[in-house]
Structure 1
């Protein structure tokens, strides 16, 4: 029986480990992340500075000091074309700072909009549109991590811990645990998730997820590090040619298909309105002139099918 188009048979191939670690300050997050070999480190908290020049950074081949979403995205694009013999791990320390950078940038946009409209900037909050944009940008970063991991690069994401709260009734909320302070959907993309903590001056990690099947959920590991998973990463089923995957292209494909479907369901007036929102004032003026010349009117809602087709043809140009 032949394999259907687009499918592949499961086989041994090289792949990188995607691991998310989070915890309170002083729980050993940066030290854990620095245990991975041939690492490029995005240091957004200045957490590596006191380790530079010491044995802790012996595995580091380069450091990017930035909290910028754009810098991180550009770096991952560059790593696509880099010589993978020079590095094998990407550390992002921390994801929390990058996530906050996105929110801060969009908050500034909201305040600028408020000022332009004469509203008090102190009352400007993130809109639903901005939250949607945050999700979109976070998704793009996650897809870039998945792409690099499919090429055999280890991805180590570090996040600060945030309290996980539940409604206890009577307007009361109680802490029921901790969660990584980043896009809440991101944790599903990782192979391993660990909550780091300290007890009696010792460092531990609680395993929340492990697709590599080295540990079980709930296991407590003292002084966790890369060495706990090295035998799995160097096993026979993690050898061979990498199968590069770019899920961002799937997102673009779905977006285009969905847009075409939605556009097909939109009324003619709504399609013209949407088009007008994408062009500047001078282009609008020229478009209206061409539209009147082609149809004899600028009354969109009164146009017949022939006139509508002429307008759509102008828009397609």
Structure 2
């Protein structure tokens, strides 16, 4: 990638909607014309019949299957060119499925090692893998938005809780609102974020959380929101030069590049850690107290950068017995 002079490019608008059950999220998503619908939790079962906006649809639930479906759609250039919007309803089902898959791996490992399954949970490593797979899916969708496809993601709502310290020192979690059931921080990736709920009469209302298109301002409330409310802004964004697939850097390519950097740095880091161990053993032989060595080296030998490891090694070398 390199710097280029700015020009008007065709961009898709990325929209995240979330909220309580029956609040109108799916009907809103289905108002977008010429769409490829991924009906992950069968939310559209009773809405899709005779809906002229749906060109093609998939009922895949797993992130891998959805990415394969999207690749097949893209391979059909004639059909892909007709698609203006890609809808996933709901991303919560996909995200939960990733958690269930990871938990199954953890449980199988516990059984193999004769540990109690009930005591096992997802470790930071498993959560990291879940986030990576999720980010690959979202990254693929956002590649399409750079090609001018609008992206509409539907998420289930859940209680947003905050810790509150009680007078006796205990901490309880208090519900302070509603948020989306998906990967934390997802809202930063979208142009428009809407929270759906039901009016007293049961009708659908959408509160604007964020709107980069500047069609509405935050906290505006829209009754029976549809594509038409953003139509002018979306059509404006969709005008301009359409980038080719070759011009758009794929997330997988970015990850591979960064992974190579980690690998290169990681090899050097391993060499320094080995040197730290050797110098520490030598200093112990010279009479340097163990607790003094641990204070410098650390208990886990887990360093976040080459510079940190090099500083530790230099301190060790300067120690006197």
Q: Same fold (TM over 0.5)?
A: yes
Return the alpha-carbon distance in structure 2 between the equivalents of residues 69 and 240 of structure 1.
30
Return the alpha-carbon distance in structure 1 between the equivalents of residues 127 and 112 of structure 2.
21
Is the Cα–Cα contact under 8 Å of residues 150 and 245 in structure 1 kept in the other structure? no
Is the Cα–Cα contact under 8 Å of residues 11 and 237 in structure 2 kept in the other structure? no
Classify the secondary structure of the residue corresponding to 2:82.
Answer: coil
The aligned residue for residue 255 of structure 1 is: 259
Deviations 1:98-142 (A, max 9, x none): 000100001000000000001122222112210111111111112
The aligned residue for residue 146 of structure 1 is: 142
Alignment of 1:31-70 (within 5 A): 31-54=27-50, 57-70=51-64
The aligned residue for residue 232 of structure 2 is: 231
Return the alpha-carbon distance in structure 1 between the equivalents of residues 84 and 271 of structure 2.
52
Q: Does 1:185 align with 2:185?
A: yes
Sort the Cα spacing of 1:228 and 1:251 in 2 relative to 1 into closer, same or farther, 3 A.
same
Classify the secondary structure of the residue corresponding to 1:126.
Answer: coil
Alignment of 1:1-317 (within 5 A): 6-54=2-50, 57-83=51-77, 84-170=80-166, 171-199=171-199, 200-235=201-236, 238-242=239-243, 244-267=248-271
Unaligned stretches of 5+ residues in structure 2: 275-321
Sort the Cα spacing of 1:237 and 1:203 in 2 relative to 1 into closer, same or farther, 3 A.
closer
Is the Cα–Cα contact under 8 Å of residues 162 and 179 in structure 1 kept in the other structure? yes
Classify the secondary structure of the residue corresponding to 1:214.
Answer: coil
Is the Cα–Cα contact under 8 Å of residues 80 and 148 in structure 1 kept in the other structure? no
Deviations 1:19-55 (A, max 9, x none): 000000000011001011111111111111112323x
Sort the Cα spacing of 1:146 and 1:118 in 2 relative to 1 into closer, same or farther, 3 A.
same
Return the alpha-carbon distance in structure 2 between the equivalents of residues 237 and 14 of structure 1.
5
Return the alpha-carbon distance in structure 1 between the equivalents of residues 173 and 96 of structure 2.
24
C-alpha displacement of 1:268: 8.2
Is the Cα–Cα contact under 8 Å of residues 146 and 245 in structure 1 kept in the other structure? no
Return the alpha-carbon distance in structure 2 between the equivalents of residues 146 and 82 of structure 1.
19
Return the alpha-carbon distance in structure 1 between the equivalents of residues 218 and 249 of structure 2.
28
C-alpha displacement of 1:202: 2.1
Classify the secondary structure of the residue corresponding to 2:157.
Answer: strand
Return the alpha-carbon distance in structure 1 between the equivalents of residues 185 and 255 of structure 2.
16
- Count matched residues: 265
C-alpha displacement of 1:252: 2.0
